[in-house]
Structure formats: C-alpha cells, structure tokens
C-alpha cells in the first residue's frame, strides 16, 4: 500500500468503505503501489462515527457510550500497533509478496470481478481461522488479548489493537498468495479490518434477517463477553456463516459483561500489550516437563496439566452482571490535562506519518520513542502510579528542549550523531522511569 497513491475519498465513498459496500471496479488495482492506504483515509470517519455514537448514546440512554480513561487506552493501543509501519511494510504483505513471487500456481486476473469476490471470501475465511486460533493458542492469545482487555464496548474499543498480532495472522492468508494478486489481497485485507469497526457498539440492537448472514454488533458483543456462554464464540470478521458452519456461533441472550475473564485493571499501554507474554514466560518456567512446557505455549490460555486443550469451562469466573469496570481515580483536572497531552501527541503522530518519506530512520525512531513515552506517561497518570509525576516531568522536559531547538548541536555535521545520542537518552531514561514507576507486574 502506498500512502502517496492516495485519492480523495468523498463522504459517500468513505461511508461505503466502512461497511464494505464498495464495487470491484472502483477498488481494483494492477500493482500494489497503486493501492491506497484505506485505513489511513478512514481516520476522519473513525472520529465522526465515534462522535455520532456518543450523541446517540446520550439521546437513547442518557449517558456516554464509554469512559474517557478506557477510550484513551484503546486509542493508545491502536497508535502503538501502527508504529512499526513507519519503518517497513507490514509482514502480512511482505510474506504474501514473497510467496506470490516464488510459489504461485496461477495468476488470476486482477481486474476481474470474480477475482475480487473470491478474495473477499478468501480473506474473510482466513480471518475466521486466524481469529479462532488467536483464542485457542496461548502464544497467539498473548497478542489478541489486547483487543479484549477493554471493559467497555464502543467504537473506540475497535481501535484497541495489538502490536504483536500481525506476526501470526499472515500465516492464515498465505494460501491465497498461490493465486490471488497482492494488489487485490491488500485491498480486501483493509476492508475486512474497516468493516469490523462499526460492529463494536451497543447503540445498534438486532438487525433482523441480516443477523443470519453477516457479523453484527449483537454477534460481536457476544464475542467480547466474559460470560461463560460467550467464551470462544463468534469469530467472524464479515460473514457470520463461518461460525454457523464450524459450530462456534452463539446468539446474544443474557446481559454481556465485557473484558478479560481476569481483568488487568490498568491503563498503562505496555502492560495492556504485553502482560500475557509475561504470564506465559513465568508459567512456562514454573511448569514441569518438556511436553507440559510445550503445551503452555501452544494449547489454550486456560490449559493446565491434566486439563483439556482449551481448559475447563467451570474454571471461568462466573459473572453477576453487577461487575464494576476498573476506572481511573484521578481528578477531573488531571483528566483534562491527559486529554490535552494526548491530543498534542496525536498531532505529533500524524505528522510523523505524513513526513516519514522525508525523515531518516533515526529521526523516525526518535519520534516513535517520544510517542511511546507520552502514551506510557499518560497511562501512569491515569493509573496513579508512584513516580508518575517524575516520568511526566521528564517527558515534558524532553518535548520542550527538542521542540524549541535548545538541544540542537552547534555543529550541523553532528546532527545525525546527535539524533542517535538523543534517541538512546530518551530510551534509557524512559525505561528507567518506567521501572521506577511501575514496579513488578502481577
């Protein structure tokens, strides 16, 4: 996908893009370089739909559709997941291109509507099996659990993405590379993702006959539930027929309680992303026997010695419907401060993506370090971690000194070396401050 190949998207096209209501003749491209970055183009539609959801929720329920601290954490996770794309093309595309160039069996015509619709089905089928394995294989769950860690269910939850997930998802799409051109695959990979945005909401109820065919908010609410009847159900991306065919469908009935079965109770982005990896690491070394250690990694998250592959359903904590989501204890003034700093960081983030072609890898790394530092500091503030003020003071000092040029080297030829040195300093002091502030993960 080529950001420089962007075409202006009309309001009509943008809305249709969010619901996969696009035509083959307007989204077919001969080369991968011609494929627009539809996900980036969707940013204003993400924002517009979230604001619309907020308004509808106020009108229908008299309250907002979610909580500020949870929404900031979800958007932070989405930003975190996109940062690697500043440096290289997605592994989902690089592996696909490699297989296409070296092992393809046939080349279906890129401009054929039949190829377009076949790819739609192929990508959605691949997503079903990736998504199912992401719940049934512990090391894959370590990435996907990020998306399920929100205890709210709204459109911001859709943005709570894992930075690790793409390193396993490519496996399930790779058979398509034997006959589907990369440009067609790249289009549907994005539309499949965009479609799943709108189903993360509670303001849409039942959609009647459509519930039989497509994934809907009702179906996906079940998938995000931690009620026993919701666990490992409704893996669909676009078409719910896959769940009906393979026996993983469950209709929504009793009230759904959202989040992980064992809530992590934090807004800190590193813990949101990586806490389950830490759990796997400690469990791996604490579990005796080679085959048991192997099972810790490749069986289900609920597995233990002597248990079935996916664990025991009776060990899943029961919910009462009276659960209170974890909330930040900070004052209203500090929440406003966090929002302002988050907005400034978003502008910095957008600027990094807009200028990435003109920036050196070291400069990009420096900007990514600062974005991560900002997200971490906001998470610590919301969690009211000890020493959070120390980390935030350091972050503000770094921003002011670098932004206003007080740390520019006197000799221009040393600017590249200075950027390297400054990157190392940010990384070192950021990690040191995080260790001081966070303490051990439990």
Tokens describing residue 78 = 């989405």
Residue 9, classified by CB atoms within 10 Å of its CB into exposed (0-12), middle (13-18) or buried (19+), is middle
Q: What would the pLDDT profile of 345-392 be if each residue is shown by its tens digit?
A: 999 899 889 888 898 888 899 889 999 999 999 999 999 999 899 999
The Cα–Cα gap between 183 and 191 comes to 13
Q: What would the mean pLDDT of 282-301 be, rounded to a whole number? A: 96
pLDDT at 413 over 50: no
> Which tens digits make up the pLDDT trace of 38-58?
998 999 999 999 999 999 999
Mean pLDDT of 179-190: 97
Number of C-beta neighbours around residue 140 at 10 A? 25
Q: What is the pLDDT of residues 197-232, one digit of tens each?
A: 999 999 999 999 999 999 999 999 999 999 999 999
Section 145-154 average pLDDT:
97
From the number of C-beta atoms within 10 Å of its C-beta (0-12, 13-18, 19+), residue 35 rates as: buried
Q: Which letter, b or e, does each residue of 224-257 get, where b requires 16 or more Cβ atoms within 10 Å of its Cβ? A: bbbbeebbbbbbbbbbbbbbeeeebbbebeeebb
Q: Tell me the pLDDT band of 423, cut-offs 50, 70 and 90.
A: low
Reference 20, options 193, 231, 224; nearest CA is 193
Mean predicted confidence (pLDDT) in 76-92: 92
Report the range of poorest mean pLDDT among 86-90, 261-265, 310-314. Answer: 86-90
Averaged pLDDT of the chain: 90
pLDDT (0 to 100) of residue 411: 41
């Amino acid at each position: 996908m080529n950001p420089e190949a962007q075409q202006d998207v009309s309001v009509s096209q943008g809305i249709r893009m969010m619901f996969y209501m696009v035509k083959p003749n307007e989204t077919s491209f001969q080369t991968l370089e011609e494929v627009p970055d539809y996900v980036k183009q969707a940013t204003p539609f993400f924002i517009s739909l979230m604001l619309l959801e907020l308004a509808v929720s106020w009108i229908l329920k008299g309250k907002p559709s979610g909580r500020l601290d949870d929404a900031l954490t979800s958007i932070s996770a989405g930003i975190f997941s996109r940062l690697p794309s500043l440096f290289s093309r997605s592994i989902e595309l690089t592996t696909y291109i490699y297989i296409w160039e070296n092992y393809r069996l046939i080349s279906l015509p890129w401009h054929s509507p039949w190829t377009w619709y076949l790819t739609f089905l192929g990508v959605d089928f691949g997503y079903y099996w990736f998504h199912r394995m992401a719940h049934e294989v512990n090391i894959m769950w370590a990435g996907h659990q990020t998306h399920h860690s929100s205890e709210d269910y709204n459109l911001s939850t859709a943005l709570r993405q894992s930075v690790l997930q793409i390193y396993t998802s490519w496996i399930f799409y790779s058979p398509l590379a034997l006959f589907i051109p990369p440009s067609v695959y790249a289009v549907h990979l994005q539309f499949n993702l965009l479609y799943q945005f709108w189903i993360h909401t509670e303001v849409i109820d039942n959609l009647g006959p459509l519930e039989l065919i497509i994934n809907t908010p009702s179906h996906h609410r079940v998938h995000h539930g931690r009620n026993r009847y919701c666990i490992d159900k409704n893996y669909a991306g676009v078409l719910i027929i896959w769940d009906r065919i393979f026996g993983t469908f469950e209709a929504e009935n009793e009230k759904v309680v959202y989040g992980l079965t064992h809530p992590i109770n934090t807004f800190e982005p590193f813990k949101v992303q990586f806490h389950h990896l830490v759990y796997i690491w400690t469990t791996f070394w604490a579990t005796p026997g080679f085959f048991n250690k192997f099972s810790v990694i490749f069986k289900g998250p609920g597995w233990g010695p002597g248990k079935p592959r996916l664990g025991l359903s009776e060990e899943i904590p029961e919910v009462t419907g009276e659960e209170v989501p974890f909330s930040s204890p900070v004052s209203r003034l500090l929440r406003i401060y966090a929002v302002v700093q988050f907005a400034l960081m978003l502008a910095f983030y957008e600027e990094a993506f807009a200028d990435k072609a003109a920036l050196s890898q070291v400069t990009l790394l420096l900007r990514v370090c600062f974005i991560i530092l900002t997200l971490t500091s906001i998470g610590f503030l919301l969690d009211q971690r000890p020493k959070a003020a120390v980390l935030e003071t350091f972050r503000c000092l770094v921003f002011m000194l670098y932004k206003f040029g007080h740390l520019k080297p006197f000799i221009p030829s040393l600017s590249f070396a200075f950027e390297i040195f400054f990157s190392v300093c940010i990384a070192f002091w950021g990690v040191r401050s995080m260790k001081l502030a966070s303490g051990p993960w439990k």
